Structure 1
Amino acid sequence: MSGYFSDLITGSKSLLSGLGVTFKAMVSPVVTVQYPREKIDVTPAIRGHIDLVKDEGTGAHRCIVCLSCMKICPCQCITVEGEKQEGVKGKVLTLFTLDFTKCSLCGLCVESCRPRAIDFCSEYELAGFSREEFFYDLLKRVKERA
């Protein structure tokens, strides 16, 4: 008989504890964000896809076509091409593409870039209906921002 009452008291304590948690959640402020209508502030350390960094002085990119990002990429999702042009010291970047369907966001390309020409982008709303929407021409994106 004493086991019955101890179980009853333990169950009542458990019920009141659960009701206390529920009541506390009811009176606390709402933290849910209605996503499509309300946007949240993302942290500056977000790691989206890579993007070419625009040079502050010239407004162009910083890439010197050293190919270190393409060589170190384990997924082989970066394609970089450059050519030697008349009257220009070094190579000139002609193609810089990213196949985001293969990218694992490991960050090795960003770490290996000596002139700090690539960095992570802060875009997080990446959605598409076809595979071609995830092939980014990063050189074109830099020119559009300039």
Structure 2
Amino acid sequence: MKSYFSELFRGAWSLILGLKVTIKAMFSPIVTCQYPREKLEITPNYRGHIDLVKFADTGTHKCISCGSCMRECPSDCIVVEGEKREGVKGKVCVVFNLDFTKCSLCGACVEVCPTKTLDYSNDYELAGYERANFHFDLLKRVEERE
């Protein structure tokens, strides 16, 4: 009989301690972000995939199609092609593709760019069911950007 009440008391004490933790958490401030409805503020140090920078003075990128980013990339995920157009000094970039499935986010392409036209994107909601969703045409993205 004594062991019955002792076990009953231990069980009730355990229940009280558990409820104490639950009630304390219930009245503490909320730290969870309700993701689809709320968006987190992204830190400036966030390194997403690379993106072409749209400069305000020209309204477009300043890529000269030198190919240094393509040569420097250890993952071989960047394709840059340019062509010489009549009346334009230097090459004009016509193809700038990124295969983000291969990218290791090392940042070598951003560091080696002579015109500083490459930077990291702030996109953090990348999800998809196919690999084709992660093949980016960066020229098309810079044209679509406001």
> How many pairs does the alignment contain?
131
Instruction: Name the counterpart of 1:60.
Output: 60
How much does 1:23 deviate? 6.6
Mapped partners of 1:24, 1:67: distance in 2: 58
Runs of 4+ in 1 over 3 A off after TM superposition: 18-27
For the residues of structure 2 that align with 1:40 and 1:144, how far apart are their CA atoms?
24
How far does residue 137 in structure 1 lie from its aligned partner after superposition? 0.2
In 2, Cα distance between the equivalents of 1:143 and 1:21?
53
Report deviation, 1:20. 8.2
Please, what is the CA RMSD of the aligned residues?
2.0
Which residue number in structure 1 is paired with residue 82 of structure 2? 82
Aligned to 1:144: 144
- Give the whole-Å Cα distance in 2 for the aligned partners of 1:62 and 1:108: 18
Cα distance in structure 1, aligned partners of 2:110 and 2:21: 45
Specify the SS of the correspondent of 2:97.
Answer: strand
Any gaps of 5 or more consecutive residues in structure 1?
Answer: 1-17
| Alignment of structure 1 residues 107-118 onto 2, 5 Å | 107-118=107-118
Match of 2:99 in 1: 99
Structure 2 unaligned runs (5+)?
Answer: 1-17
The amino acid across from 1:95 in the alignment is V
| Partner residue in 2 for 1:7 | none
**TM-score between the two structures when normalised by the length of structure 1:** 0.81
Counterpart secondary structure, 2:116: coil
